[in-house]
């Protein structure tokens, strides 16, 4: 494999800011021996910075944003530049320089990164990037859109009711009545576009429902309520690929409470992130159930137009054995390397494979014609049109 200059973008204006830092440090450790890694850290205020020290976890234990080693920078959407511009010019004698990139590894969790916004910037800049494109990132990030897409493809999802923060603030009673007409308690309340189990809570009565919606509405403008499957088994499966796709082994994550919490996911072993959570691999389920989950995983990957690697989370209702897709986690919500190691794919091979998929997708996009349409204005007098 070639040696690439890889921009690792992480942090940003997100409730999952710290989680993103952990993910970035992991991926940098997987890449740095074989590639030239350029850490690109976005502060909680949205400022873009780079420095070699930002690729080391210890830097973030006491980060000084006034450190002179930290250079401010931007990625311009100008497709002719295809580079980072750093440092940002501050005076008439200041000079900016280009930092050329071969590819970007976007590792911003949550809004302003995992939701397609960062992917959109990279599309405009014409820079190859790892993972799902704008549309599939946006669909998978929004639990409401994902459910519509998966249900439209004939795939099993729990029933749901969704509403906006404005609707909640102006028609609280109507929202509560609609939920109670649709579902029996308990129900589970979720911000539609957050991850890491932030803002998620189970409601066993109307008072708890009102409180949990009010809390969740602080984190997103769109909210979703689902019936709570009380006797359930949680199973995860990863899918890897671009033109050819394959499913990983299945795992059973172990929750300490009624659902997999932020603490379960990230605080079991803080330095290892989600990989440090408690889990059983392979999942203790039948061969038939394993095969069915893998089949649904592959179909889900195709339905949302994913690429690269995703982790798909499932719920199995123990009373009925019905399998439901809970959510699809795109990069960086999951690199899921621990699900590929049992198949002989090391974490180093996995990230290198993801880089190759990024170039494959970029080359495929490059075959599309963008400027060869009809010259509609060639013979039009624009001044006469204005009149």
- The pLDDT tens digits for 35-72 are 999 999 999 999 999 999 999 999 999 999 989 899 99
Closest CA to 180 of 201, 159, 209: 209
Q: How far apart are the first and last CA of the chain?
A: 60
Whether the upstream peptide bond of residue 211 has omega within 30° of 0, thus cis, is no
> What gap in Å lies between CA 134 and CA 202, rounded to an integer?
31
> What gap in Å lies between CA 166 and CA 19, rounded to an integer?
29
Q: What is the pLDDT of residues 99-128, one digit of tens each?
A: 899 999 999 998 888 899 999 999 999 999
Q: What is the pLDDT of residues 134-166, one digit of tens each?
A: 999 999 999 999 999 999 999 999 999 999 999
Structure confidence at residue 266 (pLDDT): 47
Asked if 5-129 and 140-155+231-363 have one fold, the answer is no
Q: What is the pLDDT of residues 331-369, one digit of tens each?
A: 987 789 999 999 899 999 999 999 999 999 999 999 887
Q: Where are the domains of the chain?
A: 5-129, 140-155+231-363, 161-227
E runs forming strands in the chain:
5-11, 36-42, 48-50, 71-72, 74-75, 83-86, 97-100, 103-106, 161-164, 187-191, 201-203, 222-227, 232-241, 245-253, 279-280, 308-317, 323-329
pTM above 0.95, yes or no: no
Q: Which CATH superfamily is domain 161-227 in?
A: ATP-grasp fold, A domain (3.30.1490.20)
What is the CATH topology of the domain spanning 5-129? Answer: Rossmann fold (3.40.50)
**How many CB atoms are located within 10 Å of the residue 321 CB?**
12
φ, ψ for residue 337, nearest 5 deg: -65, -30
**How many CB atoms are located within 10 Å of the residue 100 CB?**
12
Tokens of 165: 């923060």
What does each C-alpha distance from 35 to 8, 23, 127, 306 come to in angstroms? 12, 18, 17, 25
Contact assessment for residue 32 and residue 39, using Cβ atoms and an 8 Å cutoff: no
Contact assessment for residue 219 and residue 14, using Cβ atoms and an 8 Å cutoff: no
**How many CB atoms are located within 10 Å of the residue 319 CB?**
10
Strand, helix or coil for residue 154: coil
What is the CATH topology of the domain spanning 140-155+231-363? Answer: D-amino Acid Aminotransferase; Chain A, domain 1 (3.30.470)
Contact assessment for residue 10 and residue 24, using Cβ atoms and an 8 Å cutoff: yes
Structure confidence at residue 190 (pLDDT): 95
User: How is 104-143 classified by DSSP, letter by letter?
Assistant: EEE---STTTTTSHHHHHHHHHT--BSS--HHHHHHHH-H
Q: ∠ CA 244-149-161 to the nearest 5 degrees?
A: 145
């Amino acid at each position: 494999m070639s040696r690439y200059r890889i921009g690792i973008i992480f942090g940003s204006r997100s409730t999952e800011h710290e989680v993103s830092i952990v993910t970035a440090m992991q991926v940098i450790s997987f890449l740095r021996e074989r590639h030239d890694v350029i850490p690109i850290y976005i502060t909680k205020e949205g400022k873009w910075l780079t420095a070699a020290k930002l690729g080391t976890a210890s830097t973030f234990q006491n980060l000084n944003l006034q450190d002179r080693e930290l250079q401010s920078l931007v990625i311009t959407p100008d497709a002719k530049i295809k580079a980072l511009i750093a440092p940002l010019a501050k005076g008439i004698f200041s000079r900016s320089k280009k930092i050329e990139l071969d590819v970007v590894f976007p590792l911003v969790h949550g809004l302003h990164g995992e939701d397609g916004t960062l992917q959109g910037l990279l599309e405009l800049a014409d820079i190859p990037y790892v993972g799902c494109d704008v549309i599939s990132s946006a669909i998978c990030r929004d639990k409401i859109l994902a459910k519509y897409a998966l249900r439209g493809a004939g795939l099993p999802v729990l029933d749901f009711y969704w509403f906006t923060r404005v609707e909640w603030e102006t028609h609280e009673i109507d929202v509560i009545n609609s939920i109670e007409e649709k579902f029996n308690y308990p129900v589970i309340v979720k911000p539609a576009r957050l991850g890491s189990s932030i803002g998620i809570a189970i409601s066993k009565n109307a008072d708890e429902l009102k409180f949990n919606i009010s809390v969740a509405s602080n984190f997103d403008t769109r909210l979703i309520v689902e019936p709570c499957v009380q006797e359930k088994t949680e199973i995860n499966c990863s899918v890897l690929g671009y033109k050819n796709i394959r499913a990983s082994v299945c795992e059973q994550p172990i929750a300490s409470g009624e659902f997999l919490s932020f603490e379960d996911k990230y605080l079991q072993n803080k330095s290892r992130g989600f990989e440090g959570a408690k889990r059983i691999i392979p999942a203790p389920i039948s061969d038939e159930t394993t095969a069915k989950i893998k089949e649904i995983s592959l179909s889900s990957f195709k339905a949302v137009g994913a690429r690269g690697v995703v982790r798909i989370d499932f719920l199995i209702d123990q009373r009925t054995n019905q399998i439901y897709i809970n959510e699809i986690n795109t990069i960086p919500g999951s690199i899921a390397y621990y699900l590929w190691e049992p198949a002989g794919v090391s974490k180093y091979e996995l990230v290198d494979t993801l880089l190759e998929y990024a170039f494959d997708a970029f080359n495929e996009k490059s075959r599309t014609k963008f400027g060869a349409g009809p010259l509609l204005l060639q013979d039009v007098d624009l001044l006469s049109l204005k009149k």
